[in-house]
Amino acid sequence: MSSSLRTSAFAKGLNTETAFDVLAVAKQLKAAGKDVIELQIGDSPFPTTKSALAAGKKAIDDGLTRYCPSLGLPAFREVIAETVKKEFHIPATVENVVVGPGAKVFEQFFCELFVEPGDDVLLFSPQFPTFEPNIARRGGVPYHVPLKQSNAFRPDLNDVEKFIKTAKKPKAIFFNFPHNPTGGVATLEDLKGIADLVRGRDIALFSDEPYCHMIWEGSHNSILAQPGMMEQCVGAYTFSKSYSMSGWRVGYAISSKPIVDMIGKMINTSLSCVPPINQTAAMNALLHDTAERDSVMQLFKLKVQKLVNALRTVEGLEVLMPEGTFYVFPNVAKICERLKIKSHGLAMYLLEGADDKKGVACLGGECFGTAGQGFLRFSCAEPDEKLLEAVEFLKVAITREDRVKKYLETHPKYKA
């Protein structure tokens, strides 16, 4: 029986995070017996840190299985405030903290707070794939500016100034540094310059900072530490990367008290609260697992360096050592041009078509917006030997022009 229900225009046009789509294909192929090296999704290969695990188990035994305040456990919020003050020099108190299920949900809450239909929202492209759907939820208008390899994928202050002066209704900026997918990092001078441009204007800034502990030289700087920015910014953080807690779904946001209180209402009316078991585990990670975290971050750095060095041996490929994150974003435009294939087509060919028994899962740059065309994104979530094996597979795969041609015949959407 056909349904007479009509779905919304937003639902019909909703895009998803491509990494999870490719993950599903990779798992399906592995289940069918294919040997797949999975470099498509940004998950940690390391176990959750020890104190977090122990505290989570104890919280279950202690019966912390009831509702708790929508803003988060007061003791946890206090620890978060002290942590961001110490680590990032953000002048936070407990009133500036709200707990959520990871960082991603705060994209939606930010847009619900500030974006009205027709408002322009600045996106540095390539961008994290869920930014645009959350802007679309509110009828906002994405305003794309490119991050360029020639500028180490740093934000250009001229682009921000142009947005403020030329967009019809400039209202918000999505800011994500260290940057996914490129690994670019905004300098302290970049942050000061952007803060000076937006300070005092009716422009809100969402600062997505899940890779705050994955800075490979120096330490992380947050725009929320700039004078006056707490009143105009929402900073989002997660335990997924730093403490290998992606499945626990714990994160938090930092902002002014009025903004935090409004986000608390949004959590109250949608999620109720984050499970206290999960919050207790995360609180103990902050209190006791700093040394373990920093040790794991160094292992990630070594992984990134190994992958970059290996990729630099591939003919026709150019790659920067990322300033942060555990992603490597090589430029494969010359290879794609020679093979007459789009960059995400190249990624899917490596997974599905390059070999019958083996494959490599990664993402084409256009999964992160048009500015990502001609790039691939590799995560470093597999063991070191698998990273090197993936590069050797890539070297051979791009020489099999007959297989590329055959793959494009059955997947014409990937033809360049």
The ranges assigned to domains in the chain are 9-38+292-397, 64-289
Residues 352 and 414: beta-carbon distance below 8 Å: no
Nearest to 402 by CA among 339, 332, 336: 339
Residues 171 and 140: beta-carbon distance below 8 Å: yes
Residues 206 and 106: beta-carbon distance below 8 Å: yes
pLDDT at residue 77 is higher than 60? yes
d(CA 127, CA 160): 15
Decide yes or no: CATH 3.40.640.10 for domain 64-289. Answer: yes
Nearest to 45 by CA among 385, 395, 357, 285: 385
Residue indicated by tokens 């992160």: 368
Which of the 8 DSSP states describes residue 273? -
Q: Output the pTM of the full model.
A: 0.93
Distance of CA 208 to the CA centre of its chain: 8
Q: What is the CA radius of gyration of the chain?
A: 22
**Can you give the pLDDT at residue 153?**
97
Q: Give the chain's length.
A: 416
> Which H helix or E strand runs over 120?
strand 120-125
Burial class (CB in 10 A: 0-12, 13-18, 19+), 137: middle
Whole-Å CA distances, 133 to 16, 138, 349: 8, 9, 27
> Which H helix or E strand runs over 287?
helix 276-288
Summarize pLDDT for 353-362 with one digit per residue, the tens: 999 999 999 9
Residues 200 and 217: beta-carbon distance below 8 Å: no
Residues 312 and 90: beta-carbon distance below 8 Å: no
CATH of domain 9-38+292-397: 3.90.1150.10
- Bridge partners (DSSP) listed for residue 374: none
Nearest to 341 by CA among 378, 373, 379, 377: 373
Summarize pLDDT for 398-416 with one digit per residue, the tens: 999 999 999 999 999 999 8
d(CA 208, CA 123): 12
d(CA 380, CA 377): 10
Summarize pLDDT for 281-306 with one digit per residue, the tens: 999 999 999 999 999 999 999 999 99
pLDDT at residue 181 is higher than 60? yes
d(CA 222, CA 171): 20
Summarize pLDDT for 81-134 with one digit per residue, the tens: 999 999 999 999 999 999 999 999 999 999 999 999 999 999 999 999 999 999
Residue indicated by tokens 């490597």: 328
**Which of the residue ranges 6-10, 324-328, 381-385 would you say has the lowest mean pLDDT?**
6-10
d(CA 182, CA 33): 32
Residue indicated by tokens 């300070």: 199
**Can you give the pLDDT at residue 2?**
60
